[in-house]
Chains A and B, each alone.
Chain A
Amino acid sequence: MTTVLANTWTFTLKELRSFFNSAVAYVILTLFLFITGWFFASNLFLVNQADLRDIFGAIIPLIFLFFVPAITMRLIAEEKKTGTIELLVTLPVRDVEIVLGKYLASLILLAAALALTFAYPLTISILGDPDTGGLVGGYFGLLLMGAAYLAIGLFTSGLTPNQIIAFITGFVIIFVLYMLDKIIMVFPSAIASVLEYVSVGYHLDNLARGVIDSRDVLYYFSLIGLFLFLAVRTLESRKWR
């Protein structure tokens, strides 16, 4: 067990280093802050309300739609393209360690992006009296949603040696999950409630209200688990006969 953790962490450090050695991390963090900052500042005095409902409920989920597959698209696809995957999987490490290590690195980058936005709630709490429960729940929900998207992106990165294909397939899967609760009015109510439960937005809204319900948490954890499992399978696919 300790070797599993040690190997996973070795991969995490390696990927983090390559995020920060290349422009990837800086572009992601800068753009993320710029876009969220823009929407935060431009509306703040206009609406005159001490909450981040727009940022949490609409802006960040929208940004994640594009940013998350961009973070993950390189992770496995590039190894397949350059052939380094062959060196990697012939080392005495388990496939699951490779996947978890890479996943953890992308999760840390995403968490860093979210952490940088703490400036907004801090500003608000100086100006007014925001609902702390909503803020905590909102961040928690965004982190879980982002984590689920990352797992999806990592899976699609493992499907192909082509990063663009990895990005687009990842985006499409995430987009479908994102859109589900926004188009349910055209479906009969029986199907609609199922679609609503499957959609990521519905669970995020619940959490952002400040209610941390185990059903919502479980939903995100199942998404993460499912797609990480599938990502491991993509590494194993070389062994299929």
Chain B
Amino acid sequence: MIEVKNLTKDYGTTRAIENVSFTVPTGQIMGFLGPNGAGKTTTMKIITGFMPPTEGQVLIDSLDAIDHSLEVRRKIGYLPENTPLYTDMDVVGYLTFVQRLRGIPQSEHSVRTRRMIELCGLGEVLKKDIGELSKGYRQRVGVAQAMIHDPEILILDEPTVGLDPNQIVEIRDLIKELGRAKTLILCTHILPEVDATCDRVLIVNRGKIVADGTPASLRAAASGHDRLTVEIKGPSDQIRSALEGLPGAARVARGDGADAEPLGAGCSRFVVESASGHDLRETVFAMVRDRQWILLEMHHEATRLEDVFRQLTVGADAQAAAGSTS
């Protein structure tokens, strides 16, 4: 379990994070989300004991990260941002080096190395120098060194940056696989990653936590609603008033914007925003059938995590910018 209490970190006069608190229970995969420079990496560096906070405290399984630094470091596997590795060591040599320093008995080295090689798909590059590896393989070596001692807590800072789409899927699957038994913090600014892997999301912006919940609950809580785009053949005015009359329809607008496809003769397109919790698809279909209009197209768009994220971060930034320029 990771308990983070009122962390504040100043770099000189710049405040990187301010009063950040959260708890990650054992077995949870938590996505730590935020735009670049929001304080994600700073928070990770403090949790892993790389540097102390200006104020506040980190407890790992109720041990203080500073007072019991060595014990805490034993429990954590860490992949720092940008995956720093020794470029002049080969993969097996490096994994052995890490195991020695982690105090793993010599007899277990080859077994553990083999397991990591299997898990992370490093079989083809065993004897290569890390400096010769592609970005994707390097990333996997980074993940392997973080997990080789089977840590209870795994902290991965942007593990999929610079990977190609196939590799991203592989690493994501790996993370999901691992997260079942471990406490895992995944730092990223790539939203589909969080949606695909995390049980819980924490969004930080400008050093403060702005949202905390499951991906689904965040979507639900966002003020943006589900949007339903419909194309119907029939009298335009009647369609509009009928749509507006539907229970649960919050707003109806014409959907023929500049980038919309051209409409057929006698057709009109509307975008219906529903109040949260309402799914209008069935009622719209029933309405069209009853009036004997023709439904040509219906497209449903759920609120995406991207929208939530933009709302929480860009909106706040705009406010802050307005405040600072005055």
Q: Which residues of A contact B (CB under 8 A)?
A: 3, 6-7, 10, 14, 17-18, 21-22, 82-87, 89-94, 238-239, 241
Contacts and interface: CB of A to CB of B under 8 A. Distances in A.
Interface in B64-111: 70-71, 73-74, 76, 78, 80-82, 84-89, 93, 97-98, 100-103
A86 B45 contact: yes
15 contacts: A6-B100, A10-B101, A18-B89, A22-B88, A83-B84, A84-B85, A87-B84, A87-B85, A89-B49, A91-B73, A91-B102, A92-B71, A92-B74, A93-B101, A239-B51
A65 to B, nearest CB: 27
Contacts of A21: 88
A90 B50 CA distance: 6
A147 B58 CA distance: 40
Interface residues of B, number: 30
Main secondary structure of the interface of B (DSSP, over half): loop
Given A10-B97, A83-B82, A87-B84, A92 B103 contact: yes
Interface of B: 45, 48-52, 54, 70-71, 73-74, 76, 78, 80-82, 84-89, 93, 97-98, 100-103, 145
B79 to A, nearest CB: 9
Contact of A7 (B87, B93, B101): B101
B84 A239 contact: no
B78 A90 contact: yes
A241 B52 contact: yes
A18 B94 CA distance: 12
A238 B89 CA distance: 26
A89 B65 CA distance: 13
A90 B145 CA distance: 12
B25 to A, nearest CB: 22
Nearest to B49: A90
Given A87-B145, A91-B98, 16 more contacts: A10-B100, A14-B89, A17-B93, A82-B84, A82-B87, A83-B81, A84-B84, A86-B45, A86-B50, A86-B84, A89-B50, A90-B50, A90-B73, A94-B70, A241-B52, A241-B54
A86 B80 contact: yes
Contacts of B48: 90
Contacts of B101: 7, 10, 91-93
Give the one of B85, B89, B101 with max A CB within 10 A: B101
A201 B86 CA distance: 38
Counting from the closest, the 8 A-B pairs by CB-CB distance are A83-B84, A92-B73, A84-B84, A92-B74, A86-B80, A10-B100, A90-B48, A91-B101
A179 to B, nearest CB: 36
A150 to B, nearest CB: 21
Given A14-B97, A86-B80, A92-B70, A3 B86 contact: no
B73 A87 contact: no
Nearest to B75: A92
A84 B97 CA distance: 13
A239 B52 contact: yes
